[in-house]
A and B are shown apart, each in its own frame.
Chain A
Amino acid sequence: MSRISSLHDAVAELVVDGDTVALEGFTHLIPHAAGHEIIRQGRRDLHLVRMTPDMVYDQLIGAGCATKLTFSWGGNPGVGSLQRFRDAVENQWPHPLEIEEHSHAGMATRYAAGAANLPFGILRGYVGTGLPEHTSTITQIECPFTGESLTAVPALRPDVSIVHAQRADREGNVQMWGLTGVQKEAVLAAKRSIVTVEEIVDHLEPVPYSVVLPWWVVTAVCEVPNGAHPSFAMGYSVRDNAFYKAWDAVSKDRESFTAWIEQHVLGTTTYEEFRRSAGVEVPASV
């Protein structure tokens, strides 16, 4: 596969049944199109990882792609619950979903440890909460100099990390800016990576507060304009809040969810087709 490829080919080659897969994005730059492609290609037994699983993880879980979720906050921000996630945890539908639950700080520490090729990271966290009792990947470690007790969490090393960025150049160097969350760490911690971008350009102009991932740490770059919709790409689009709100009704029951996935995701071949099918417009950046 060449570094610049179609999203179809990248997912076909790099996302394998049973993989640990992180699609990261902190409200901004969520790789929605890539999530749909995983559903379309019928991946199974995935261990999904993300700090803030939102609508796209709700879809992956409801579509039966995942058997495990590692996360720190799973909701539809400003709207409410993730209905498919809840149905999986509360009622094992479409099948049981094992969960490994952390805090944001712990997940960030775990990605950073993975990016740095360390087996674990340390933080001041979790102590006194109910999490260590239920999550085996939280333990205590003693400072060898002060004797102080700190929390240790193992590195996250996904098989594949997938993120969305604003731009790449033809060599495959990737540039993202605005709120870039934990995406750099997610890509650097992973064995393989896919980056969908708004556009591929000849030259990347430096931008303040940008993160650049050089071509040699990215496995595949796919040009997918609006691939983060209904999330947004700063400078290209704004967040489609109406779409997030509408998700609540679609996902409320199994039938309406399944019909929606079948018609709009499984029944289409690209994210652009999906948007036409679902009748959504991408709100443009002002």
Chain B
Amino acid sequence: MAAAPAVEKPAEAGARQVFEVQLTNFSGPFDLLLNLISRRELDITEIALAQVTDEFIAHIRRIQAAEGEWKLDEASEFLVVAATLLDLKAARLLPAGAVEDAEDVALLEARDLLFARLLQYRAFKEMARHLAARLEEEDARHPRDVPLEPHFTRLLPELLWRHSPEEFAAIAAKVLAPREEQPAAVGIGHLHAPTVSVGEQALLLQELLQGRGALSFRHLTEDAASRLVLVARFLALLDLFRDGAVSFEQAAPLSELVVRWTAEDERWTAEADEDDDERGAV
């Protein structure tokens, strides 16, 4: 990524200000992206996304500088978006026709996914605006919510109470005990599947391909036990392709995609890949 804008590197106080401004401006990468797009009055369905890439990168660098360190989960979201944007921009810089078909496809897919998620986010943002308006309107009305009239209170069934002070204290102790600090980072306790390593999937693909030379994408993914594995394998293929370890052949759009092993070294090492820090596991 490009160097941080020099303008944004002032004294502590200045950095602090930037930090606050950033936080009030947006939350999350989609919010930032939408913000940038709307400021330039761009339509997010246009390729114009490439035009806001620099701004996006500059923004996240500034936050990083101000905050000192990233929370891992947030950082990864920002980085995924940033990486996709950079890919898109890179593609735009190349002379027309100079890109290979397969790369185009991958790029289009990345772009579509980013657009899709951005659209989805925008839709919910719009719904949030709607909810806010509804809530505000409803705030103007107050429900009748008055204490029960005394003569009805007397009719309530006699309360059965069977707790000793000690039992009652135990209830209090349980409720008042500090709750398990919910991690500020993403908890993974609720994640369903075990994490799948892109690196491992790459090695697996390598074994499959080196044995047989070329295989269809369908064949390479048909034993994927879950969607998660499928995604990881897809990402692994993209990594392999970028490193020149495989090539793609496709006779016609939407026809069978054939993957061929092209690396010369015996062992292609996924671990050497810097990108793995960002999406080594999904």
Query: Is chain B a partner of chain A in the same complex?
Result: no
Interface residues of B (CB under 8 A from A): none
| Contacts from A to B (Cβ < 8 Å) | none
